[in-house]
Amino acid sequence: MIAVDANGADEGAATVAAGARAAGVEVMIYGPAAEIGDGPDVVDAPDWITNEEEPVRAVRSRPQASVVQAARAVAEGRAQAVVSPGSTGALLAASMLHIKRMRGVHRPAVALLLPVPGKPTLMLDVGANVDVRPEHLVQFAYLGAAFMEAVHGVERPRVGLLNIGEEPTKGTEDHVAAYERLAAGPLEFVGNVEGADLVAGAADVVVTDGFTGNVALKTMEGTAKTVATAIGDAIRSGVISSLGGLLIRRRVGALRRELDPNTTGGAILLGLRGVAVVAHGSSSAEGIANAVRLARRAVDERMIERTAEKLRAAGVLRSAPAASVGDRHG
């Protein structure tokens, strides 16, 4: 069972419900029955937490909010994963409160599959943690590698540390320390990667703090849009024939969609005791269905258990034996 929060999407709750039902897996939809309609797969939950609210406070004070109810369903074993097209902060806060962090994990991270044509690259963190210590970066590496292995079938994912040069001494002291620990561990660590490598498929997993990750992600989106727009303008200005223009315009449009992170099915929260997926707020029904399928796949492939095992084997957990980590979903 996947718990789907129907609130917070640009296209409205009915579109989210339609997408969730089209995913081909068992779902429970938390949203306004007035918009979705009644049904055995609907829990009426009109209240929701917007992007503008302070997430931790909102989640604590409004247990009836749809994202909180959906997260609680996972915590109480009524569902195995939660999907929300609403505020990432609210889903993270609700997940931290109810699903909880994986034992020994410092901080969960928001991971996003970058739309690199033909070379999906997972970047994390992209926003949850603006200040990180080396041990956080190291855990992010294992969280990301476990996800790519379990959910995307990448054997021995290549992990890179986002930095400003290839040499192990580059970056801040924290980067140097993280580099050392990653190089000494059992991961397939390819060393430092740079901004240009993000779109070049140089690594399967790129590790960074949430501040740099967010800036890099938005810079990538903005640049792709600017270049595609400039080329579209050149075409419309009539430098080529109308037939040629039509064809190339279609190709530019397709490429821009290909490079649009909205099409990759959303972000995933890693380091929790359950699966939580953020569907992009502007998702179509198909986008929601993709996010639900991603969540289902993470459950079926035992991502949580495999992540816990990976962290334990590498000796990067915060403290205490990790034997019980993820047991709830075992």
Least distance from C-beta 172 to a second copy, angstroms? 5
Burial class (CB in 10 A: 0-12, 13-18, 19+), 233: exposed
Rounded least distance, CB 270 to a second copy, Å: 19
Considering beta carbons, is residue 38 or 243 the nearer one to a second copy? 243
Compute the least distance from the CB of residue 289 to a second copy, in Å: 27
Peptide bond into 125 cis (omega under 30): yes
- 3-class secondary structure, 313: helix
Cα–Cα distances in Å, from 43 out to 6, 30, 34, 231, 268? 10, 5, 11, 47, 23
Q: Minimum Å distance from CB 67 to a second copy?
A: 20
Smallest gap from residue 143 Cβ to a second copy (A): 20
Write out the two tokens for 26. Answer: 């068992």
How near is the Cβ of 47 to a second copy at its closest, in Å? 23
| Residue 217 or 291 having the CB closest to a second copy | 217
Stated as kind and residue range, the H or E segment containing 3 is: strand 2-5
**If we measure between CA atoms, which residue out of 22, 25, 15, 19 comes closest to residue 295?**
25
Question: Of 54 and 327, which CB lies nearer to a second copy in the complex structure?
Answer: 54
- Exposed, middle or buried: residue 236 (CB in 10 Å: 0-12, 13-18, 19+)? exposed
Smaller CB separation from a second copy, 247 or 323: 247
Smallest distance, a second copy to C-beta of residue 66, A: 23
DSSP state of 27: E
Q: Which is nearer to a second copy, 154 or 215 (CB)?
A: 215
Nearest Cα to 196, choosing from 175, 167, 227, 219? 219
- Residue ranges in contact with a second copy by CB under 8 A: 116-117, 127, 130-131, 162, 164, 171-173, 194-200, 208, 210-212, 214-228, 230-231, 234-235, 239-241, 243-245, 247-248, 251-252, 255, 259
Q: How far is the CB of 171 from a second copy (least distance, A)?
A: 6
Bridge partners for 160 per DSSP = 191, 206
Q: Where are the alpha helices (DSSP H) in the chain?
A: 13-22, 33-36, 55-61, 66-75, 88-94, 134-152, 173-184, 210-236, 242-258, 285-300, 303-314
Is the C-alpha dihedral spanning 158, 161, 166, 168 positive or negative?
negative
Between 12 and 232, CB nearer to a second copy: 232
Q: Residues 6 or more apart from 214 whose CB is under 8 A from it? A: 126, 127
Locus of tokens 């740079």: 194
Cβ-based nearer residue to a second copy, 124 or 317: 124
Determine the Cα–Cα distance for residues 119 and 193; give it in Å rounded to an integer. 15
State residue 101 phi and psi, 5-degree precision.
-65, 150
Rank residues 31 and 89 by Cβ distance to a second copy and give the closer one. 89
Q: Of 59 and 216, which has the nearer Cβ to a second copy?
A: 216
Cα(145)–Cα(303) distance, integer angstroms? 11
Q: Compute the least distance from the CB of residue 281 to a second copy, in Å.
A: 15
